[in-house]
């Protein structure tokens, strides 16, 4: 559905990257990405790799090109969480802002339903909450030679029915596939954590409390209510809610 409905946006995003890097660099990056993040994604995050294949097929674009869109685009943000209330905002390139969207994921194979803030060409997410009340935001996404931390965030929402086992799943996946950056996490019980990954090594600490939000767009998530509110750069708000246990 994502690839078919947003084919034009996906094609435009790929075209902009090709123009930015030039033909020779683009071909070299495709090969490097296929052998690095692409191989790790297929081997250690197979559900997310299958989703990437589905988006590429429906949008009628090359899987390698779509993988480059996921891998080359990294987003930084700031945020905090307290009592299961998570807030984050992101520093976006102007070309990326129009590609942002709210998405509902209804995975098969026993996965958990979730809603997320993502972009048209991405399989991963910037922020999201699942039907079990596990919420997250990706505040730092480093190391372009590894899979995007957004993909690990999406996989955590797919798997996690509680925060502690979700973190253990994240630890294992990051140890295999790699992953470097910072996730902010909360759950319906009111627990909040900051998880820092460095080449697959996970370090946990208490989440900072929400402060003044200076960047746009802004995401607010109520983990207990399973509600995500996204406020874009123009001040427009969109909301997504899912039922517990759905």
Domain ranges, ordered by start, for the chain: 2-70, 74-241
Average pLDDT, rounded, for the chain: 90
How confident is the model over 115-128, as pLDDT tens digits? Answer: 999 999 999 999 99
Enclosing H/E stretch for 3: helix 2-5
**For residue 163, is pLDDT > 80?**
yes
**For residue 57, is pLDDT > 80?**
yes
Contact 222, 128 (CB under 8 A): no
Among 245, 231, 110, CA closest to 188: 245
Model confidence at 213, pLDDT cuts 50, 70, 90, reads low
Q: The whole model's pTM is what?
A: 0.92
In angstroms, the CA 151 to CA 73 distance is 12
Residue found by looking up tokens 């009111």 in the block = 190
- The proportion of the chain whose per-residue pLDDT surpasses 90, expressed as a percent, equals 62
Contact 203, 195 (CB under 8 A): yes
In angstroms, the CA 159 to CA 169 distance is 8
Pull the structure tokens for residue 6: 């947003």
Is domain 74-241 classified as CATH 3.60.60.10?
A: yes
Enclosing H/E stretch for 102: strand 100-105
Contacts of residue 189, defined as CB under 8 A and 6 or more positions apart, other chains included, come to 84, 133, 163
Task: Give the pLDDT mean for 31-40.
Answer: 90
In angstroms, the CA 119 to CA 97 distance is 8
Model confidence at 23, pLDDT cuts 50, 70, 90, reads confident
In angstroms, the CA 148 to CA 1 distance is 22
Q: How much of the chain is in helix, strand and coil states, percent to nearest 5?
A: 40, 30, 35
**For residue 77, is pLDDT > 60?**
yes
In angstroms, the CA 217 to CA 49 distance is 27
**For residue 199, is pLDDT > 80?**
no
């Amino acid at each position: 559905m994502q690839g078919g409905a947003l084919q034009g946006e996906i094609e435009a995003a790929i075209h902009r990257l090709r123009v930015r890097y030039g033909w020779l660099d683009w071909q070299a990056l495709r090969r490097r990405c296929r052998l690095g993040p692409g191989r790790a994604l297929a081997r250690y995050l197979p559900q997310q790799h299958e989703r990437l294949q589905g988006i590429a097929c429906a949008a009628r674009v090359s899987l390698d090109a779509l993988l480059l869109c996921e891998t080359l685009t990294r987003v930084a943000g700031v945020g905090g969480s307290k009592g299961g209330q998570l807030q984050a905002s992101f520093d976006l390139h102007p070309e990326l802002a129009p590609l942002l969207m709210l998405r509902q994921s209804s995975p098969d194979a026993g996965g958990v339903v979730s809603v997320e803030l993502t972009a048209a060409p991405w399989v991963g997410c910037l922020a999201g909450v699942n039907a079990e009340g596990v919420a997250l935001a990706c505040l730092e996404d480093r190391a372009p030679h590894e899979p995007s931390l957004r993909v690990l965030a999406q996989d955590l929402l797919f798997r996690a029915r509680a925060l502690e086992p979700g973190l253990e799943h994240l630890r294992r996946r990051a140890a295999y596939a790699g992953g470097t950056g910072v996730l902010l996490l909360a759950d319906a019980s009111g627990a909040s954590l900051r998880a820092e990954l460095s080449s697959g090594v996970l370090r946990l600490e208490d989440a900072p409390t929400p402060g003044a939000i200076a960047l746009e767009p802004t995401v607010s998530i109520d983990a207990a209510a399973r509600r995500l509110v996204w406020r874009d750069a123009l001040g427009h708000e969109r909301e997504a809610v899912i039922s517990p246990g759905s």
